[in-house]
Structure formats: structure tokens, C-alpha cells
Amino acid sequence: MYLKRMELQGFKTFAQKTVLEFVLDKAGRRGITAIVGPNGSGKSNIADAIRWVMGEQSLKLLRGKKSEDVIFSGSDRRARSGFSEVTLTIENDSPSLELRGAGSDLPSEVSITRRLYRDGQSNYEINRQTVRLQDVVMLLAQCGIGQRTYSVIAQGMVDQILVASPTERKEFFDEAFGLKSFQLKRQSALNKIEHARENLGQTEALLREIEPRLQSLSRQMKRLEQRDQVETELKSLEQVFYGHGWLEISQGLTVAAEKLKKAKAAQAEHGEVAHKLEADLAKLEKAAPASQGFRELQKSLEGLMKERGTLRERELKLEAKHEVAAARAEKTWSPLPLSKIIESVEMVRAKHEALDDLLKQKQVDLAAVRQLVGELRELSREFIQRLQRPAPEVEATIKSDPVLEKELKEAAEALTLINQQVTVVEAKLELWNQEEQKERKHIFDLQHQLNRARQDRQTVDERASEAAVELARFETRRDGFLVDLRQHAPQLESGLDKLQATSYKLQADMPARLQKLRSQLEWIGSIDPETVKEHEETKTRHEFLRTQTDDLRQSIQGLEIVITELDTTIRERSEKAFHELDREFGIFFKKLFQGGEAKLIEVLSEPEVDEAGNAIEQDQEEQGFSGIEIQATAPGKRFKAIALLSGGERALTSIALICAIMATNPSPFVVLDEVDAALDESNSRKFAEIIDSLADKTQFIVVTHNRATMTQSNVLYGVTMGDDGVSQLLSVKMDDVERMRR
């Protein structure tokens, strides 16, 4: 790799476009290009241009005070330029080098351009593609071209190597050793680690901010899952519960309707029998008219029987209303307490004992017997109803209708009174019958049949009323059942017939279980769909941030490994290059001084100390050196300090060190700007010979006034300046001159 061409336009005194061609010599070596010219002609501006296009930012090294000083400022005869542009074209013979921003590999020819406008706008280009300064620096480092070291050495920089501090010398040598690219990569890795740690901190902060909200949303989603489980179990239980309930109600309605139908049929049958008996009795009475007293008793008995039937019908209707009201108010069933069963049995037993005592008397009171029988029948019916539809031990909280209770009481009292009157009239008729038995026996028999028919009709009426009450009770249960169903499980209403067709086993604790599940649903509450959406978004973001955090940690670990590997590479190469440089420095020093001794010494870094001021033990690999000291002893002298050397000796020592660097790690090209100005004629020839020996591996562009250096060059550029203040070039190829001489 060597410098093939350089183009300048508007840079300092080169106002017009100027092209410098750098060619190999006849032997194919890199060769030496000498740039000569009188003082003030602008020849050092060529070295400045090379330094500037390579990314130099120090205006002091560019011999300026502000950035626009590198733009042609104009003269009396020529206007100033609007911009400054320099392009270096490098011939690439190492195609394996990578070019960031311009492809995977370097092409055969690489051009680097820097452009600056007077308004301050500037840009860098590699092969006409805009890049960053960092890309240019990295490319030059990969090519082994130092930006601020020996690649461009100005006249005043020769002695700076000697007077520099050990740390500054180390930086100079690191770049000379070709470690700049590794150091740039290391610094880039450090910057990436710092950036990754900043991102990691921000990501972890976001995670800490999101996690409480995600936990809250997760709890809500867990409650939603619990709600789904509870709803599933509740629906299953509701199917069993309502299916069984509807089956019971349907069967009860069917049985009650059948009972009512049979009772009405019996009513009609007994009604016809009674009607026929009444018709037969009327015929007999017309055939054998009874006495006036008998007719009055008969009429009175009929009126009482009719009134009793009316009262009994009213009582049954009131009882039905009472049963319906009780059934509607009733919500839960519970077993009839044992105390109530015992109490009811004791009452039935007491009534039976009273009836038995009454029947044992010589003169039986028929009215009292009938009253006890009626009370026993009513008490037994009530007891059976309570067993079928029991009430809890504690008094029900349902309040009965006082008006209905009063009407029931009045009806019962009136019925009792009518029964007593019927008993009296029947007793009189019985006495009349005994007196008129012989004469009107057939009529009395018919009368007895009619009475029995009426009693049977009354019994049938009671059964019909009970069946109607039972039907009304099941209808009320059905209505309450449907209300409860529509409130808690309306979706099951349309499929009740299918549910009841399935056999279900109802457990005793199912109502309590249903209530518990409904309470759980009420406690869980409903979940807003936006909450579900927010949970998904928050969870996705949390997983993304968690993944990003893991990636950042892995990236940091990977970068730390890269830094460790780079540190190892830098240390190994630095040690190897340092020993080679030390050897070459001694060789070139002896060659220039015709003897003497020179060497480089590593200055170890100070050990780290703890808070107490004690040194921290470190492995040898962890210890590094922070600087480089130079020791030089001229022939015939004993001192080794650089400061004690004369000006010429210091210049020769610096040149020996530079030549050693170029021999150790050859740069593709080196620009020397009047570095031989302080040398005498003898040393100038030595310097020229050394440069010529190194020209096999390194291309030299030398700004010089020295004839010995000019003699060794294969291309000679002359710089002149006209009246317009613009530098111009004249070129001469030394091979052509030699051919002309021949």
C-alpha cells in the first residue's frame, strides 16, 4: 500500500487545483519524493494538507488559529476561495483490509477526501461516500498510517520526541507499533459498554416501574381465571339444581292437576247422586206430605246445610289464599323440627282420647262427637301439610295478613255455630224420625241417604279444595322458581324441558354451595376488557424489556471478553515491538554516531493502593507500563541523560529513533518536513542513505533543502509562488534526467 496521488484545491496557498503524482522508482521500490522550493513558497503546506486530510484537528499543528485559515484567503490579484479540499488516493495491495461504510473489503484504490467551507460546514469522504471522522481514523489505523505520529513529521516535531514525557512517548510508540487500530477498537468497545450500561440502567428502571403494575394486573387476571372456574362450577351446579327443581315442580303440578281432576269428577258424581235423592225425596213428600213441624225442621236443616256448605267453601277459599300467600313468601325449606312433630302428635292423641271418652258415655252427644271428628280431621290435615311443607324451629319471619287471619277466624266461628245448629236440628229430626218411624220410615231412610250423600259431597268438596290449594302451591313454587331462574341463570330457561328429562341427584348442601359460589363471583367482580388488553400489553413490554436486559448483559459480557482479548493482543504486540524497536534504535544510533549506545526503558505504572494507602498486590500480567524513557550515550561521553546532549546530537538521536520505528513497523508512507535542517553535510548524507535503505518498505515524501536527500529521490517537485500569492508545482523525474544525461 502506498500513496499514489494527492489533489489540493483551495488549501492555504494552493488556490487552484493541484495534483501530485507519487510513482514507484525504476526498481519497483516505494521510493523517495522530494519537495523543494524557496522559503515561503508553500512547500510545507503540502505536509499540512496530508496531515489535515488524515483528520488532524489541532490548528496549532496546522499552523493556524481558526479553521478557515486552511482556506485560501486571497491576495491583491486573486479572490479568496470558498472552500478547501484535499484528496489522498492510496493504492491498496492488501485487499483483505475492511472498509467500514464502503463495502466489505477495500478496493484496489482508496480515496480519502476532506472538505471545508467558509460557513463552517465540513465533511469526510471515502471513495466519494460520506463517512465520519472515526471511520477515517479507523481506516488509517488499519492501513498502519499514524495520524499524529511519524507518518507526518514536521521540522519542530523531531526534538519533541526527546523532550516529551514518558507517557507521551508511549502514546507515540503505541501508534508507531500499529496498536492504534486495536486501541480504537478497545475504546469503541468501552464506549459501547458504557452506552450499554446506561441503556441497561434505563431498562432496569423501566422494569422496576412496570413490575408493580404487572403484578397488580396479574392478580386481576388470576381473579379472572378464578372467576372462569367459579362460573364453570356454578353453571354445572345450576343445571343440576334447576333441572331437579323443575322436575319436582313439573311432577308436582302433574300430580296436583290429576288430583283436582279426579276430585271434580267425584264432585260431579256425588252431586248427581244427591240431586237424584233430593228428587226422590220430593216425590215422596208430595205423596205423603209431612206435618208442618216436620217441614219446618226439614227446611231449617236444608238452610243450615246450605249455609254450612257456603261457609265451608268460604273457609276453604280463605285457607287456599293463606296457603298461596305462605307459599309465595316461602324461600327456603328446612326439615320440620322434632319438637313440632311431638307437639302435633300429642294434640292428635289428646283429641282421640277425648273422642274415646265421649263415645264411652251412655248418652252420646252426637254434636260433640261430630265436632271432635271435624277437629281431628282438620288437625291431621294440617299436620300432614306441615310434614310435607315443614316450617323451621324458629318462628318464621313472614308476617301473615291480619285481615285474612280475621276472616279465617270469623269463618271458623260461623262454621262452628252452624255445625252446632245442624246438630240440634238433626237431633230434632232424629227424634221426629223415631216418632214417625213407622209411618214414614221410607222417607227417613231416603233422608238418611240424602244426608250421607251430602256428607260425601262435602268430603269430596274438601278434597277438591285441597287439590286446588296444592295445585296453587305448586304454581306459586313454579312462579318463584322461574323468577329465581331468570335472575341467576336466564340462559337455562329455554332448555328446562331437556334438563328435567335428565336424571339428577340433588345433594343436601347444593343450595348453600350455590350461594357460596354466587358470593365468590360477587366478590371477584367483573373484569374490564381494557384491563385484559393492558395486561397483555404490559406483559409483552415487560418480556421485551427483560429480553433487552438479558441481551444488554450478554453484550456487556461479550464486550468485556473482547476488551480482555484486545488487552492481551496490545500487550503482546507492544512487548514484541518494544524489544525490536529497542534493538533497531541501538543499531541506527551507532550508525549515525559511529559508535555510542542508546536504549529504551519501560517505566512501570505506580501500583494501586487501598483506602489505607497500602499497595494492592497485582499479577505481573495486570501490571503495565505507563511510559518509556530514552537513554543515549554519545561516543566518548559517559552521561546518559537526553537533556545533556547537544542540539545536533539530539537531532541525530531523534532521527535514529524515527528510523528505528520505520524499520520495526514500516508505515505505507512517511512525510518528513525539513527534519534534516539541523544536520551538517556529513550527517545529512548518512540520513539520506538511511532513508534510501528504508525506501524498500516505506514511501517517503520529504520536504527538504538538502542536496543529499534530493540526490536519493526518484521524483522531485519544485514549489514556486507567483505575484498572485498562489503556489505552483514543477515536477522532475530523476530517471528522465539520467536518461537525458546519457
pLDDT at position 395:
42
In tens, the pLDDT along 351-379 reads: 777 777 766 665 656 677 777 777 777 77
- Model confidence at 572: pLDDT above 80: yes
589-611 pLDDT, tens digit per residue, is: 888 888 888 888 887 765 555 55
**Coarse DSSP helix, strand, coil percentages of the chain, rounded to the nearest 5 percent:** 60, 10, 25
Residue 264 has pLDDT above 60, yes or no: yes
Asked whether residue 308 carries a pLDDT value surpassing 90, the answer given is no
Any idea how long the chain is? 742
Q: How far is CA 655 from its chain centroid? A: 65
116, pLDDT greater than 90:
yes
With vertex at residue 316, the alpha carbon angle to CA 312 and CA 319, rounded to the nearest 5 degrees, is 135
Judge whether residue 148 has pLDDT over 80: no
Q: Which cell numbers in the block locate residue 195?
A: 452506552
The predicted pLDDT at position 182 comes to 81
613 pLDDT more than 60:
no
pLDDT one-digit tens code per residue, 318-339: 776 766 666 555 544 445 566 6
Tell me how far apart the alpha carbons of residues 737 and 94 are, in angstroms, rounded to a whole number. 33
Instruction: Tell me what pLDDT residue 326 has.
Output: 62
The Cα 451–Cα 445 span in angstroms is 10
Confidence of residue 18 (pLDDT cuts 50, 70, 90): very high
Fold of 1-149+669-742: Rossmann fold (3.40.50)
CB crowding 701-716: b at 16 or more within 10 Å, else e: bbbbbbebbbebbbbb
Q: Return the DSSP state at 2.
A: E
Determine the Cα–Cα distance for residues 643 and 163; give it in Å rounded to an integer: 8
The residue type of 144 is G
Q: Which three cell numbers stand for residue 560?
A: 468485556
Whole-angstrom distance, CA of residue 555 vs CA of residue 560: 8
Examine the pLDDT at 36 and tell me if it is beyond 90. yes
Domain assignments of the chain as residue spans, ordered by start: 1-149+669-742
Phi, psi of 718 (to 5 degrees): -105, 135
Examine the pLDDT at 538 and tell me if it is beyond 90.
Answer: no
H, E, C per residue of 120-182: CCEEEEECCEEECHHHHHHHHHHCCCCCCCCCEECHHHCCHHHHCCHHHHHHHHHHHCCCHHH
In 10 A of CB 46, how many CB atoms?
28
Cα–Cα dist 135/125, whole Å: 9
CB 57 within 8 A of CB 47: no
> At 445, is the secondary structure helix, strand, or coil?
helix
pLDDT given at position 595:
86
Q: Which helix (H) or strand (E) holds 564?
A: helix 529-593
Band (742; pLDDT cuts 50, 70, 90)? low
pLDDT tens figures, 176-189: 777 777 887 888 88
**pLDDT above 50 for 393:** no
What is the rounded distance in angstroms from the CA atom of residue 505 to the CA atom of residue 240? 7
Q: Where does the pLDDT of residue 102 fall: very low under 50, low under 70, confident under 90, or very high at 90 and above? A: very low
In the predicted structure, residue 571 carries a pLDDT above the cut 90: no
pLDDT band, residue 100 (cuts 50/70/90): very low
- pLDDT value of position 735: 64
What is the per-residue pLDDT for 738?
62
> What pLDDT is recorded for position 130?
93
Which pLDDT value is given to residue 137?
A: 84
- 227-241, 331-345, 520-534: range with highest mean pLDDT: 227-241
The arithmetic mean of pLDDT across residues 98-118, rounded, is: 72
Torsions phi, psi of 82, nearest 5? Answer: -90, -15
Question: Between 180-287 and 510-524, two packed helices, what is the crossing angle to 10 degrees?
Answer: 140
Q: What is the per-residue pLDDT for 363? A: 60
Percent of the chain with pLDDT over 90: 10
Average confidence (pLDDT) over 239-247:
82
Sheet holding 83-91, edge to edge: 18-21, 2-9, 83-91, 109-117, 122-126, 129-131
Q: Is the pLDDT of residue 650 over 70?
A: yes
Nearest CA to 245 among 519, 513, 479?
479
- What is the model's pLDDT at position 236? 79
Q: Cα Rg for the chain, rounded, in angstroms?
A: 63
Question: What rounded mean pLDDT belongs to the chain?
Answer: 78
Rounded to 5 degrees, what are φ and ψ at 234? -65, -45
Q: Does residue 381 register a pLDDT over 90?
A: no
E-state strands within 517-583: none
> What average pLDDT score do residues 50-69 get?
88
Q: What is the DSSP string of 351-389?
A: HHHHHHHHHTSSS--HHHHHHHHHHHHHHHHHHHHHHHS
Output the pLDDT for position 286: 66
Which range of 143-147, 453-457, 731-735 scores highest in mean pLDDT? It is 453-457
The three cell numbers locating residue 473: 302451591
As a whole number of angstroms, the distance between CA 589 and CA 634 comes to 9
Residues 6+ apart with CB under 8 A from 560: 193
Least confident of 4-13, 65-74, 295-304, 668-677: 295-304
pLDDT bucket at 131, cuts 50 / 70 / 90: very high
Q: In what order do the strands lie in the sheet with 715-721?
A: 152-153, 669-673, 699-703, 32-36, 715-721, 727-733
